[in-house]
Structure 1
Amino acid sequence: MFELFKAFLFGIVEGITEWLPISSTGHMILLDQFVKLGVSKDFYSMFEVVIQLGAILAVVVIYWKRIWPFHYQTNQKGLWKIMDEDIFFMWVKVVIACLPAVVAAVFNDEFEELFYNPVCVALALIVFGIGFIVIENMHKGSTPKITSISQMTYVLVFIIGIFQLLAAIFPGTSRSGATILGALLLGVSRTAAAEFTFFLAIPVMFGAGILKLVKFGLVFTNLEIWIMIVGLVTAFVTSIIAIKFLMQYIKKHDFKVFGWYRIILGILVLAYFFLIK
């Protein structure tokens, strides 16, 4: 039961930090320093990625009508299926933005070995936290040039994809944080930046989760199965709450509070590992 409670905690952390621009991977690494799951190293490495599938499902449920391009209409011959062109081209943009992430998938093991440690996490938290504050101050009082995904060009979404690549290389950067920061820098509104980040996560996180699952294999102990179920369900429910909170919050506020949070957390992490541990 205690191991399941730990899985519950990991699910909560994943669900909140995956969508708020504060780094889910960074928080998962830090949580692992204090709350160790009683599982093998290989299972945990797979679990911290596969648990993201629960978070993805939350996006699919909330935005289903915005992401599913096929619809049925009735004519004289009965029901027939049509494709929404706006949604189709939105997915084309998502695919283009995902291309840089292929680099991270090829060298994922090397990146994990080099950068997946508390010090790198703390530095990334601080650097991108400063970035949020600086960019929000730069754009204060200005009107965004791009207020919807349909207005984004293919070149622009590819550049946003490069920002996402930074998050794949350096844990603590935050995938959502990097893509939102890149979008803001390019003149995209907060709402459009956040929504594109959500949609961009679907293929990236689904692909990463399935790849990890296949690499690990489909043989689990009973405890491992229950840990997966608890983590996935908790991440799903928490993600729904986090996404709805973020979209309401940014209608009236900017991202600076997340920047300050990242800086404070990064400093505390550095202090802990250099002065206490």
Structure 2
Amino acid sequence: MDVVLLAKAAIMGVVEGLTEFLPISSTGHLILAGALLGVNDEKAKVFEIAIQTGAILAVIIVYWQKIRSTLVALPTQGQAQRFALNVFIAFLPAVVLGLLLGKAIKAHLFTPGVVATTFIVGGLVILWAEKRQQAASRIEDVDQMSALDALKVGLVQCLAMVPGTSRSGATIIGGMLLGLSRKAATDFSFYLAIPTLIGAGAYSLYKERALLTAADLPMFLVGLLFSFVSAWACVHWLLRYISSHRFTPFAWYRIAFGLLVLLTSSMGWVDWHD
């Protein structure tokens, strides 16, 4: 058993869990962590996607009461059916565009310039959204969302296909700009993450299954475990944070990280191509 490799898997798991649900782009942080740890081959890319499952399990546990009540009520209650349909509607655009454009995006958009630009522009959008959020929100709870609201959030989620954008950042800030309260946008972002990230992980594992062997299982399990624990802590913290704070600090962090991408790329320290 390679203890060093397992330690690296644990660190990558923590990075994934801490950044997946914050509006700061887990992909960008995993690229940086992978470069620093020397974990950036093709198998590592599959690993990065697979350990998202650990983070999603944390969300399922945190939101289990809502998920369970929805599943139980699904056959008979219209509200549960509407909520499940909204999640499905929001999930579809990413599936369609991911299958159509996934290869082209990886081939052409994983460049230092694109990653840095999306980090910085995303930070500026958050600053603008928080300033604009002074007005009363139209939707205070996810159960108040219409199918059109869900579709709009799903379309906004597709922006996260551009590296450095952040899936959670796109859906939370996009939801706020579409009239959702900070709490409703965050909650729906988490619910939408469940099918989106599980689907992406399963598809990646199936597509790249030839790269994997039984010897990789300990590394993946360690990554999943640490991703789960750190994501569980992060989700709990974020739900408390948004009750009395804005996303402004994340905006400034994104801008600083974008500048870091430019520095590490120009110095040749990190390869930001995926």
Please give the TM-score of this superposition, normalised by the length of structure 1: 0.90
Deviates more, 1:252-261 or 1:24-33: 24-33
- The aligned counterpart of 2:90 is 97
Which of the numbers 215, 232, 235 marks the counterpart of 2:227? 235
- The aligned counterpart of 2:26 is 24
Q: Distance in 1 between matches of 2:110 and 2:31?
A: 8
Tell me the SS of whatever aligns to 1:71: helix
- The aligned counterpart of 1:173 is 165
After superposition, the Cα gap between the structure-2 partners of 1:259 and 1:53, relative to the gap in structure 1 and judged at 3 Å, is same
Tell me the SS of whatever aligns to 2:220: helix
Deviates more, 1:231-240 or 1:213-222: 213-222
Answering whether residue 253 of structure 2 is matched by residue 252 of structure 1, we say: no
- The aligned counterpart of 1:48 is 48
Q: CA RMSD in A?
A: 1.9
Specify the structure having the higher radius of gyration (Cα). 1
- The aligned counterpart of 2:133 is 139
Amino acid at match of 2:181: S
4+ long deviations beyond 4 Å: 81-84
Greater fraction of residues in strand: 1
Name structure 2 gaps, 5 residues minimum.
270-274
Map 1:59-70 → 2, pairs under 5 A: 59-68=59-68, 69-70=70-71
Q: Check conservation: 1:30, 1:118, Cα contact below 8 A.
A: no
Q: Distance in 1 between matches of 2:253 and 2:151?
A: 28
Tell me the SS of whatever aligns to 2:244: coil
Q: What does the per-residue CA deviation read over 1:12-62, in whole Å, with 9 as the maximum and x for residues that have no partner?
A: 11001101110011111122221122x8x3322211111101111111111
Q: Check conservation: 2:57, 2:228, Cα contact below 8 A.
A: yes
Greater fraction of residues in helix: 2
- The aligned counterpart of 1:184 is 176
Amino acid at match of 1:232: L
Which of the numbers 114, 117, 122 marks the counterpart of 1:123? 117
Tell me the SS of whatever aligns to 2:72: strand
- The aligned counterpart of 1:2 is 4
Q: Check conservation: 1:93, 1:154, Cα contact below 8 A.
A: yes
Q: Check conservation: 1:14, 1:235, Cα contact below 8 A.
A: yes
Q: CA deviation at 1:83?
A: 4.6
After superposition, the Cα gap between the structure-2 partners of 1:273 and 1:70, relative to the gap in structure 1 and judged at 3 Å, is closer
Tell me the SS of whatever aligns to 1:70: helix
How many residues matched?
265
Q: CA deviation at 1:106?
A: 2.9
Answering whether residue 72 of structure 2 is matched by residue 71 of structure 1, we say: yes
Q: Distance in 2 between matches of 1:241 and 1:9?
A: 15
Name structure 1 gaps, 5 residues minimum.
73-80
Q: Check conservation: 1:70, 1:84, Cα contact below 8 A.
A: no
- The aligned counterpart of 1:201 is 193
Among the aligned pairs, what percent are the same residue? 38
Q: Distance in 1 between matches of 2:77 and 2:47?
A: 36
Q: Check conservation: 2:116, 2:164, Cα contact below 8 A.
A: yes
Q: CA deviation at 1:98?
A: 1.3
Q: CA deviation at 1:219?
A: 7.0
Q: What does the per-residue CA deviation read over 1:62-87, in whole Å, with 9 as the maximum and x for residues that have no partner?
A: 11121132339xxxxxxxx9655423
Amino acid at match of 2:113: V
Q: CA deviation at 1:217?
A: 1.8
Tell me the SS of whatever aligns to 1:22: coil
- The aligned counterpart of 2:272 is none
Q: Check conservation: 1:71, 1:82, Cα contact below 8 A.
A: yes
